Chains A and B, each alone.
Chain A
Amino acid sequence: MSLRVPHSRTDPLKSLLRMERFPHIWCPGCGIGVVVKCFVEAALQSGIPVEKHVVVSGIGCTSRAPGYIKVDGFHVIHGRAIPFAIGLKTARPDLEVTVIAGDGDLLAIGGNHFLHATRRNDDINVILVNNFIYGMTGGQYGPTTLEGALTTTSPYGFVEGAFNVPYLASALGANFVARWTPLHTKELTNTMLEMFKVDGFAIIEVVSPCLIYGELNNMPPLDMMKWLKDNTIIDHNADLSKIDVNFKKPLVLGNFVRRYRPSHQTRLKELVKKVVGGG
């Protein structure tokens, strides 16, 4: 199958893509490529010089995203994208640092860093692609796997609960919390543009179809896309405690939280000013 994309739309995006690395590694139907496209569009529209954009990731399908984006990019070890991003941002505050990573990377092995970066309000952007599973390693359950789901390590059904990511991030104090899907490209791109403006911890959860999850759970990517099309509600003022992902009820999307707590890095700069200023 050949895809035709109007020329005027591809060219500007290509300037921020590592075209020599295509075709990418993602499965047909996967939502991660859409996230990359939205990020590239948002980065180009952001008004922030491209050399100031930095992307950081850990390990997993989503973490391959920086490998296709032509800005300074760091694909580091499993679970550690957030502390690496904090090191970059603290050392060089003029960088616009975005972590792009998956649910297992950020919320399981990297969960402690997620918890504390949100609490400290570190000035980084996080795009969390939630596909409910460890796709790259073959389909094991993760911290956002839905109860009852079949995975290669829950062959009788998953008996744990899943994180409700926006509720969690909001409770931890994030300055910006949103949720979209790869079907909502315009909203997702615009939300990324909002996220770049935030001084502090900002997170967008992208609920994404996954071939591996879909094959195991009778919901192939196209079916899930259709489900997302028919069963999503946009409610920016939703009660976050009630918006867990559950295919038995509509999925609530929106830009839920916008706070103005000064970021950790802003406060560190103020601290230096105070100490040096005081002699």
Chain B
Amino acid sequence: MSERVSLLRAEEALLKPGVYFMQGNIAAAEAALVAGCRFFAGYPITPSNEIAEHMSRRLPQVGGYFIQFEDEIASVIAISGAAYAGVKSMTATSGPGFSLMQEGIGMAAMIEAPIVIINVQRGGPSTGLPTLVGQGDVMQAKWGSHGDYEIVAYLPSSVQEMFDLTIQAFNTAWTYRVPVIVLPDQRVGQMIEKLSVPDYNEIPIAGRIAPEEPPEEFLPFNSKYLVPPMAFAGEGYRFHVTSLTHDERGYPSTSHKISTQLVTRLIRKIRDNEKAIGRYESVLTDDANLVVVAYGITARSALKAVKEARKEGLKVGLFRPVTAWPFPYWGLKEAVDRGADIVVVEINMGQMVRVIREHFANIVNIHSMTWAPGDVPRPHDILVKIKEVYEG
């Protein structure tokens, strides 16, 4: 069969625009196919298995390949290899597997391989609570691998966002040549609810920026760009890539000047674009004296609590970061300038609250509502905290 025919078949095989009743993990898998993912590598782990299972069934239908590897380490490395061969690729996992992947994520950041990792968070630490909810990997997503680098992480809060943000994750990965993490919690990954799939011409799909220079002039890590154009293996550029600190030619270097140039660029390509990448949602914050910060499944509980509080006449709003990294701190600035109290609710022992303190400590009062993994705080639980702070 010609490549052309198989591509046409692939388009036909994508999820049709329309309304579905679908599980979050499966919505993410379908979204990956829409984004152009044609290679999946993974290792079984609860509660992310539906993604791998669905990809194993669906990828061959669109002319793609699925490999269940011997572990998560091989999986995250293989998708970097496939990306450098020009194929959009991803993996999916949960806590313990995400820990195993960290060295590979650092490598992808260093060699600027565009990959997507879905980490459906379960309760930790260690083997923890395989089937139950947690939000304890927020800091790990950013700081999990050694050395200085930047990644992007999204925090879906619904099945719709599992779909939308997975496509966005691919676009961001390929636009910035960076590993991108989709970071749902177990509840968002495994809940089943409404999904609207728009017409595909309404969904922008990003690809690589291809080199313009002829191979003999091509520098794979040309520092005149924040994001260097990417050559694929087999195209005739005959380039070298190393996860050692490297110069613009991709050759190892121990020079401090080269190290400075490389690490600075890897960080700047995300930090300089934080407002283009970072996203958030604000609800009822315009006049709020108290803003609840919550994400993932917790944001849905918190929204209900905010509405209950409003019914009781309390001026309370919700700030929901949609990107964990870069953290959209600028979205909170107005509420902070008004002197609103901040209450951060998350299913961990206080992770995201540290970032908010980093930006706004000594300006407003920042309160942490911690919640051990295994269950979601109910709206009532959050309302009690809101009242305690509001009236305190």
Please list the residues of chain A having a beta carbon within 8 angstroms of any beta carbon in chain B: 18, 21, 50-52, 54, 56, 66-67, 70-77, 80, 82-92, 94-95, 112-113, 115-116, 264, 268, 271-277
Contact of B214 with A by CB under 8 A: no
**Chain B residues closer than 8 Å to A274, beta-carbon distance:** 60
Identify the closest chain B residue to A122 (Cβ).
B67
Pairwise interchain contact A75-B242, C-beta atoms closer than 8 A:
yes
Pairwise interchain contact A88-B85, C-beta atoms closer than 8 A:
yes
Pairwise interchain contact B85-A116, C-beta atoms closer than 8 A:
no
Identify the closest chain A residue to B64 (Cβ).
A272
Q: What are 22 sample pairs from A and B whose C-beta atoms fall under 8 A apart?
A: A50-B238, A54-B234, A66-B240, A67-B240, A67-B242, A71-B238, A74-B81, A74-B242, A75-B240, A76-B242, A80-B77, A85-B81, A86-B67, A88-B81, A89-B85, A91-B65, A92-B87, A113-B70, A113-B74, A264-B67, A272-B65, A276-B9
Task: State whether A112 and B70 are in contact (beta carbons under 8 Å apart), knowing that A54-B234, A72-B237, A74-B81 are contacts in the complex.
Answer: yes
B89, B111, B234: the one within 8 Å of A72 (CB): B234
**Chain A residues closer than 8 Å to B238, beta-carbon distance:** 50-51, 70-72
Kindly supply a per-residue 1/0 record for chain B positions 209-241, scoring 1 wherever the CB is within 8 Å of any chain A CB and 0 otherwise. 000000000000000000000001111111111
Pairwise interchain contact A91-B236, C-beta atoms closer than 8 A:
no
**Chain B residues closer than 8 Å to A82, beta-carbon distance:** 74
Pairwise interchain contact A77-B243, C-beta atoms closer than 8 A:
yes
Main secondary structure, interface of B, reads mixed
Q: How big is chain B's contact interface, by range?
A: 35 or more
Assembled-state Cα–Cα distance A67/B247 (Å): 13
Contact of B15 with A by CB under 8 A: no
Query: Measured between C-beta atoms, what is the minimum distance from A15 to chain B in Å?
Result: 10
Assembled-state Cα–Cα distance A83/B79 (Å): 9
10 shortest interchain CB distances as A-B pairs:
A87-B81, A87-B78, A91-B85, A83-B74, A91-B87, A91-B82, A92-B85, A275-B60, A75-B242, A87-B82
Query: Measured between C-beta atoms, what is the minimum distance from A238 to chain B in Å?
Result: 30
Identify the closest chain B residue to A66 (Cβ).
B240
Task: State whether A84 and B81 are in contact (beta carbons under 8 Å apart), knowing that A275-B60, A276-B60 are contacts in the complex.
Answer: yes
Query: Measured between C-beta atoms, what is the minimum distance from B146 to chain A in Å?
Result: 11
Pairwise interchain contact A87-B236, C-beta atoms closer than 8 A:
no
Assembled-state Cα–Cα distance A94/B85 (Å): 10
Query: Measured between C-beta atoms, what is the minimum distance from B174 to chain A in Å?
Result: 14
Assembled-state Cα–Cα distance A273/B165 (Å): 31
Task: State whether A87 and B77 are in contact (beta carbons under 8 Å apart), knowing that A51-B234, A51-B235, A76-B111 are contacts in the complex.
Answer: yes
Q: In B83-97, which residues have CB < 8 Å from any A CB? A: 83-87, 89
Pairwise interchain contact A74-B84, C-beta atoms closer than 8 A:
yes
Contact of B1 with A by CB under 8 A: yes
Contact of B80 with A by CB under 8 A: yes
**Chain B residues closer than 8 Å to A80, beta-carbon distance:** 73-74, 77, 104, 107
Pairwise interchain contact B241-A87, C-beta atoms closer than 8 A:
no
Assembled-state Cα–Cα distance A274/B1 (Å): 11
**Chain B residues closer than 8 Å to A95, beta-carbon distance:** 85, 233-234
Contact of B159 with A by CB under 8 A: no
Contact of B244 with A by CB under 8 A: yes
Candidate in B80, B86, B87 with the most chain A CB atoms within 10 angstroms:
B80
Pairwise interchain contact B81-A271, C-beta atoms closer than 8 A:
no
Identify the closest chain A residue to B13 (Cβ).
A276
Candidate in A51, A56, A77 with the most chain B CB atoms within 10 angstroms:
A77
Query: Measured between C-beta atoms, what is the minimum distance from B325 to chain A in Å?
Result: 22
A21, A71, A83: the one within 8 Å of B73 (CB): A83
Candidate in B6, B80, B240 with the most chain A CB atoms within 10 angstroms:
B240
Task: State whether A116 and B63 are in contact (beta carbons under 8 Å apart), knowing that A87-B79, A87-B89, A276-B6 are contacts in the complex.
Answer: no
**Chain A residues closer than 8 Å to B308, beta-carbon distance:** none
Contact of B29 with A by CB under 8 A: no
Query: Measured between C-beta atoms, what is the minimum distance from B390 to chain A in Å?
Result: 50
Identify the closest chain B residue to A120 (Cβ).
B67
Contact of B69 with A by CB under 8 A: yes
Pairwise interchain contact A87-B251, C-beta atoms closer than 8 A:
no
Assembled-state Cα–Cα distance A169/B128 (Å): 37
Query: Measured between C-beta atoms, what is the minimum distance from B349 to chain A in Å?
Result: 31
**Chain B residues closer than 8 Å to A74, beta-carbon distance:** 81, 84, 111, 233, 241-242
Task: State whether A87 and B63 are in contact (beta carbons under 8 Å apart), knowing that A77-B243, A80-B77, A92-B234 are contacts in the complex.
Answer: no
